[in-house]
Structure 1
Amino acid sequence: MRILPVALLAWSVAAAPASAEQDLLLGANMNTPAMTQAEMSRGDIEALIAQAAGEPIDLTDKALSGLDLSGLNLKGANLRTARLNKTNLRGADLTGANLEQAWFIKADLSGAKLVGAKMFGITARDANLSGADLSWSMPIGDFRGANMSGASLVDLKGGADLKNQSMGLMRAVFVSVNLKGANLKGANLSRSRLEYADLTDADLTDVVLMGSDLSGANLTGATVAGADFKNVEVGGARLQSLKGQDSAKGWSALVNADRAITDKTN
């Protein structure tokens, strides 16, 4: 089987049709040392941080899977195409870090700071981002199955860029993501994939969801004031006990609204 370069594969998996995903993941050889082991220790990285004297460190394309990097100051670090599968980054500071095309499968980023982080092409399936701060970040990648409960995603930029034809299909993939109680105020998730996402009690104030897929998602108790729902697919979605629905935009343009579960559903 032809093996795709890691840098290319990270986005290919996120954008591929469901039928092709398994083949692409197999093509990445997920069980090889490059994807499961580390070429550096925590001590090595701490030494780099000390030597950098406050400047961002460069960990481009490094194999760092399985390490305990919890609590480290990695502000602005370059982790582009790095592999951090099952890595413990609990409480780490990744503010402004470059995480483009990096791998974070089953990584623990709970409570981490990812404010303004670049995440184009990131693969973070089944990662733990509970309580993390992703405000003003650009998570254009694959987060399916991740735990983002209680996370802050204020003003994040996860929507497709239709002005750039080469990037028009690249968007946030939040399929089956746990977003219970998450703060998404002002986020752009236009044309994003949110099938079966759990948005119970989430704050979607002024969120742009235009053209996104919320089929099967649970929005029970969510705040939707000012949110743009134009052309949003809601077949099978739970739209019950919503707050601020009267000021939501595009509600009359929902797709498959008759198949959604609402307060009027018997």
Structure 2
Amino acid sequence: MPNRRIVALGGLACGLAALAAPAAAQDMMRHVDLTSPAMAGAETDRAAIEAMIREAGGKPLDLSGKRLSGLDLSGLDLRGANLRLARLNRTRLAGADLTGAVLDQAWALEADFAGARLPGASLFAMQARGARFPGADLSGARLVADLTGADLSGARLRDLRGGADMRNQSMGLIRAVLVSARLPGADLAGADLSRGKLDFANLAGADLSGASLAGADLSGADLTEARLSGTLLAGADVAGARMLRLRDAEAIRGRDTLVNAERAIWR
């Protein structure tokens, strides 16, 4: 049953209720009131942020812990900004430059990052369910975050760092969660999504060349026409996955250790 406080959030809650829950260690929403001003409101406006950028003279802004939900910050220069623990729920950051920004533990439910630049950014433990990243650049970003139901269509995710760190799991398995996420045509070449949750994700036509999906959950995922040249799939669960018209399938690494390979759809 969905949390009653989430239901009260209206349109946002309706979208979230349909999304699958991530690993318990990453479910920060369980005891949070998403209707509160701290989560749904803003303590400033765009004009004030623009003034801060001018006054900073090119230095990264410190917006850590700020309440910025619902603002239109599209196109702003936020390179290197510290947005750790910031509230960005339904914030519009389309086309913004967040190169090298820190968004660790930020809340960005249904935020809009369409076409944004986030190369080298850190999104550790970020809550971004239902967020939009179509055409965004997250090359080399650290994405150990919850992007359940997010739209990353055509996004650039080369050398993404989303693998679980098995040396630091005192709170349970913390990993990239892309359950039911949309990644058609995404560039994931060289990405590390080992042990990631990608069940029911749409990876149709994605480039996974040289990527690691070792131990990942790909059950029910759609990999139709995905490029898998040198892709590591050792121990990945592909139950019900659509493995149709794969490109460079002969170059898959670890194919003989796939879990539930007989339950995948191959052609």
Give the TM-score taking structure 2 as reference length: 0.90
- Corresponding pairs, count: 249
Other-structure match for 1:195: 199
**Letter aligned with residue 88 of structure 1:** R
Q: 1:136 — aligned with what?
A: 140
Q: Map of 1:40-59 to 2, 5 A cutoff?
A: 40-59=44-63
- Verify the 8 A CA contact 1:98 1:118 in the aligned structure 2: yes
Relative to structure 1, is the Cα distance of residues 64 and 158 closer, same or farther in structure 2, using a 3 angstrom cutoff?
same
Give SS of 1:166's match.
Answer: coil
Instruction: Encode CA deviations 1:9-63: one digit per residue, 9 max, x unaligned.
Output: xxxx85317xx95xx5252100111111100100110011000000000001000
Could you tell which deviates more after superposition, 90-99 or 159-168?
A: 159-168
Give the Cα separation in 2 of the matches to 1:25 and 1:75.
Answer: 28
CA contact (8 A) 1:14 1:121 kept: no
Q: Is the 8 A contact 1:162 1:168 kept in 2?
A: no
Residues 60 and 82 in structure 1, CA contact (< 8 A), matched pair in contact too: yes
Secondary structure, aligned partner of 1:128: coil
2:220 corresponds to which of 216, 219, 235: 216
**Matched residue, 1:15:** 23
| Distance apart, 1:169 and its partner CA | 1.6
The 8 Å contact of residues 14 and 123 in structure 1, kept in 2 or not, is answered as no
Which 5+ residue runs of structure 2 have no aligned equivalent? 4-20
Say which of 111, 115, 129 aligns to 1:125: 129
> Counterpart amino acid of 2:24?
A
Task: Return the match for 2:261 from 250, 257, 260.
Answer: 257
SS of match in other structure, 1:143 = coil
Contact 1:14 1:141 in 2 (8 A): no
SS of the aligned residue for 1:49 comes to helix
* Mapped partners of 1:14, 1:79: distance in 2: 23
The one-letter code matched in structure 2 to 1:59 is L
Pair 1:173 & 2:194 matched: no
Q: Shift of residue 166 of structure 1?
A: 3.2
**In structure 2, what is the Cα distance between the partners aligned to 1:165 and 1:182?**
29
Q: Is the 8 A contact 1:145 1:175 kept in 2?
A: yes
Tell me the amino acid that sits aligned with residue 121 of structure 1. Answer: A
Partner of 2:241: 237
Q: Output the CA distance in 2 between the equivalents of 1:56 and 1:250.
A: 43
Runs of 4+ in 1 over 4 A off after TM superposition: none
Which position in structure 1 is the counterpart of 2:32?
Answer: 28
Decide whether the 8 Å contact of 1:91 with 1:112 is kept in 2: yes
Among 105, 108, 113, the alignment partner of 2:112 is: 108
- Tell me whether 1:72 sits opposite 2:76 in the alignment: yes
SS in 1 for 2:29: helix
For residues 66 and 100 of structure 1, the distance between their equivalents in structure 2, rounded to whole angstroms, comes to 19
Partner of residue 86 from structure 1, selected from 63, 87, 90:
90
Cα distance in structure 1, aligned partners of 2:52 and 2:184: 37
**Which residue number corresponds to residue 210 of structure 2?**
206
Q: Quote how far apart the aligned CAs of 1:164 are.
A: 3.2
Tell me if the contact between 1:80 and 1:102 (Cα under 8 Å) persists in the aligned partners: yes
Report the aligned-residue RMSD. 1.8
SS of residue matched to 1:27: coil
Give distance in 2, aligned partners of 1:168 and 1:219. Answer: 28
* TM-score, length of structure 1 as denominator length: 0.90
User: For structure 1, which runs of at least 5 residues remain unmatched after alignment?
Assistant: 2-12
